[in-house]
Every structure is written in C-alpha cells, then in structure tokens.
Amino acid sequence: MFCKNCGAALDDNADFCPNCGVAVNQDKLANDQQKTATNAIAIVGFVLSFFIGLAGLICSIIGLSKAPQYNGKGKGLAIAGIVISCLSMILSLSLFAN
Ligand SMILES: [Zn+2]
C-alpha cells in the first residue's frame, strides 16, 4: 500500500502515513468508528419507552435493526425498550379504560 498523499510506502495496517501524517485506509477508519460508535437510537428508544410508549417502541425497533452495524451494541437495550414500551402502552391503556 502507498500513501495517496505523498506516495510513501506504507504498512498495510497503517492508519496514518508516517511520512506526511495524512490519514490513510479511510474505509478501515470509518469502519472502526462505526464499531466503536454508540447505538444512540437504541438508548433514545429505551428512554422514550418510559414516557411515550409508541415513540419508544419505534425507536427501539430501529435501534434493534441497526444493532448489527454497531457490532451488536444496544441490542439488549433495544429489546428492553420494546418490552418496556409495550408494557407502558398497556398500562396507559388500562389507566384510560378506567
Ligand atoms: Zn504520506
């Protein structure tokens, strides 16, 4: 592999060019960032599930579907969000029914 900026020979696993310091292997970097990123939508869904059942359910389902992109992060949280949002919707329905 060679640096796209200065043409120096690089180690295949190098993230930065030792000659000019430019970030190389952008695909790997982007992939690593995605893997370490937080599955924010799963957290949002989990929090919302306590207050707004339907919104929490939707966000949790999205969070669950996106979990594989985040190396499985947020999967448990998303499932918990789905369960809690269902329970809170049932609870609010039974409150309204009375
Ligand atoms: Zn370079």
CA of 23 relative to ligand 1 center, distance in Å: 8
CA of 26 relative to ligand 1 center, distance in Å: 13
CA of 27 relative to ligand 1 center, distance in Å: 17
pLDDT per residue over 12-55, tens digit each?
Answer: 888 889 999 988 876 666 666 666 788 999 999 999 999 898 99
CA of 37 relative to ligand 1 center, distance in Å: 27
What is residue 46's predicted lDDT score, i.e. its pLDDT?
Answer: 95
What is residue 62's predicted lDDT score, i.e. its pLDDT?
Answer: 96
CA of 55 relative to ligand 1 center, distance in Å: 48
CA distance 96 to 43: 28
**Whether residue 98 has pLDDT greater than 90:** no
Question: DSSP letters along 18-78, please?
Answer: TTT--B--HHHHHHHHHHHS--HHHHHHHHHHHH-HHHHHHHHHHHHHHGGGGTTTTHHHH
Q: What is the pTM (predicted TM-score) of this model?
A: 0.63
